[in-house]
Chain A
Amino acid sequence: MPEVKILEEVCKGCGLCCDDVCPVDILILSPDTINSSGYHPTVVTDMKKCIGCGYCYMICPEPAIEVYK
């Protein structure tokens, strides 16, 4: 099962990965968590759906996303 790990402290909450990049649409900007830089980091809504394509990692400018398989 592929798994996406978001490094919350590195994420700047730009939302590039949340738009239409994820083919299974499981990434959203967290409405209630906030990191020490003051950004709302990306969170995964349903890890079971992840296909491990790595598109989120590709578009992430930081990179704050790691993909495991």
Chain B
Amino acid sequence: MKKIFGRPAGLTEIIQRYCPGCGHGIVHRLIAELLVELDIRERTVGIAPVGCSVFADEYFNCDMIQPPHGRGPAVATGIKRSRPDCVLFSYQGDGDLAAIGTAETVHAAARNEKITVIFINNAIYGMTGGQLAPTTLPGMRSTTSVKGRDVVKQGYPIKVCELLSGVDGAYYLERCAVNTPKNIIKTKKALKTAFKNQMDDKGFSLVEILSMCPTGWGVTPVQSKQWIDDVMSKYYPLGVYRDRAKEEK
């Protein structure tokens, strides 16, 4: 009997401390698989965010740094410019990338830094207890919008891929989800393209991933999986927003 699927070498043996049904684990595993497949584990530096995945440095079996809140792309820029042989990925949640770190993200894209940014969008602040995030959908309930997000009071959500597609510097932008095996395969493909763009010294790649947060949303894991299909992906349409490699052809 040969093992065909199992914990990849890019992950450590530590049991992840995420809630049951959380999408972070799936994305961690996809990245870990790619580190092995592309044979870049020895020269990869990961940037852990502040948020639920703040302990990502314990889970990935590669070099990791945990910078201040939202400063992932800025730290990644510094490392990439001083050590161009390294492969950088900045793993960020919606509080980290779309709230406190918006400036760093937009400017890293505008400068076309040769880094890979992985953005986990679960439409809520998970770690702090399910508060309203910049990505919370209109009408969606959270602990700080108990009657649902009111766009008059709390404004509209930020669509990061659409926002960055207005920045000429960005090289590759795609939005995926991790709620079904089909979407997970697509996500892995997108992540692979994002890493390859960096290895070929092409430019700034960002993959936005719609992920489940059953605890924050107050639903079961199976319902949360369905909710991404029924509601979330209608507001945040999946697809490629910018692929300059294709445009140049």
Give A residues with C-beta under 8 Å from B. Answer: 2-3, 9-10, 12-16, 18-19, 21, 39, 52, 54-55, 57-63, 65-69
Say whether B18 faces chain A, with CB atoms less than 8 Å apart. yes
Q: Which of A15, A63, A67 has the most CB of B within 10 A?
A: A63
Check B25 against A62 for contact (C-beta < 8 Å).
yes
Say whether B29 faces chain A, with CB atoms less than 8 Å apart. yes
Choose among A2, A14, A54, A63 the residue that contacts B7 (Cβ–Cβ < 8 A).
A63
Check B15 against A67 for contact (C-beta < 8 Å).
no
In the complex, the chain B residue whose C-beta lies closest to that of A10 is: B15
Main secondary structure of the interface of A (DSSP, over half): loop
Check B15 against A58 for contact (C-beta < 8 Å).
no
Docked complex Cα distance between A49 and B229 (Å): 29
Docked complex Cα distance between A19 and B21 (Å): 12
Given contacts A15-B21, A61-B24, contact A66 B5 (CB under 8 A): yes
Say whether B95 faces chain A, with CB atoms less than 8 Å apart. no
Say whether B100 faces chain A, with CB atoms less than 8 Å apart. no
Instruction: Report chain A residues within 8 Å CB of B185.
Output: 58
Instruction: Report chain A residues within 8 Å CB of B234.
Output: none
A sample of 11 inter-chain contacts (CB < 8 A) reads A3-B1, A14-B21, A19-B225, A21-B181, A58-B26, A61-B16, A61-B22, A63-B29, A66-B3, A66-B5, A67-B4
Instruction: Report chain B residues within 8 Å CB of A2.
Output: 4
Instruction: Report chain B residues within 8 Å CB of A66.
Output: 3, 5-7
